[in-house]
Amino acid sequence: MRIDHQALGRRFLEQGWVKVDLPRPGIVAETARAALAYLNRRFRVRLKRLEDYHTVFADDAAHLEAQAAVAEHYWQQKMGPAILAEQLELLRGLIGLDLHVQHYPYLRIARPAKPQDNIALHRDTHYGATAHEVSVWVPLVDVGPAGALSVVPGSHLESDAAYPHRRIDSAEVAKGSVRHKLGVPYAPHRILTDLSGRTRAVPARRGQALVIALSLIHGQAVNRARTTRFSTDIRVVNSQAPIPWSRNVRADFYVPLCTSPVLAQAQAYEAANRAAGRSGEQPPPNA
């Protein structure tokens, strides 16, 4: 499969997002099958499709328990980084040769007509993310227009002043709670600008992905489809991007995904000098 990186790059720069066919989609199908098998095994149910999840886990408490369990399994098996490790041809052409990937990416489950399962339109830079990072949103099921994420094309290049927002302390989500760990903000930032005429729903089938700038306004208030949407959003950043790595809550928020030979040798050289300094030895003088 030939990837036109120049065309993808132009669309991404113009829109703030791009929908792509994954070069190696098989791993997404494998991940979906693994999630379904785990749910059936762990909760002794007989789901035939992830899309029918809501027929078994309609109760919010049961849903939270199930989502937390399958997300933990997803993290333990390192499924998110594995998905993107198969797509390096695509990612390196868009972001660079040296990449870090989110260690514990979010696994989202949005049941039909359940606004509590969704994050409304938002801008991740309002939460401390940087414009150097992207989110790769990967559906584990086919997602039609009624269940699709919406984006505001072009918003990624506009200033924060163009989108005033208000922080609201959530009455349902506490900091450090299970829902917070699953990616639901405990202090959501509500955008005050009316965006109803600018949003665009982006349907996607399994085997595709949306690469989304973190300064882009995106989200969905409620899944209006008749089926459950299973997806994962995985952040990726160029390893050399000028971002404040210390801002992350956990030290391993990002882990290396791929490293160019030049960066690898530079890191080895720097490590050798650090080791020499600790041992009291001095590196040889410049020739």
DSSP string, 96-119: -SSEEEESS-EEEEE-BT-GGGS-
Predicted local confidence at residue 32, as pLDDT = 98
SS3 27: helix
Amino acid (one-letter) located at 54: H
Three-class DSSP labels, 175-240: CCCHHHHCCCCCCCEEECCCCCCCCEEECECECEEEEEECCCCEECCCECCCCCEEEEEEEEEECC
Predicted local confidence at residue 174, as pLDDT = 93
Query: What does the pLDDT look like over 234-252, one tens digit per residue?
Result: 999 999 998 776 666 577 8
Q: Is the pLDDT assigned to residue 31 strictly greater than 60?
A: yes
The CATH label, of 3.30.70.1380, 2.60.120.620, 3.40.50.300, 3.40.50.720, for the domain at 5-260 is 2.60.120.620
Name the pLDDT band for 283 (thresholds 50, 70, 90): low
Record the pTM: 0.92
Query: What does the pLDDT look like over 173-218, one tens digit per residue?
Result: 999 999 999 999 999 999 999 998 899 999 999 999 999 999 999 9
Predicted local confidence at residue 287, as pLDDT = 45
Name the pLDDT band for 284 (thresholds 50, 70, 90): low
Q: Where are the domains of the chain?
A: 5-260
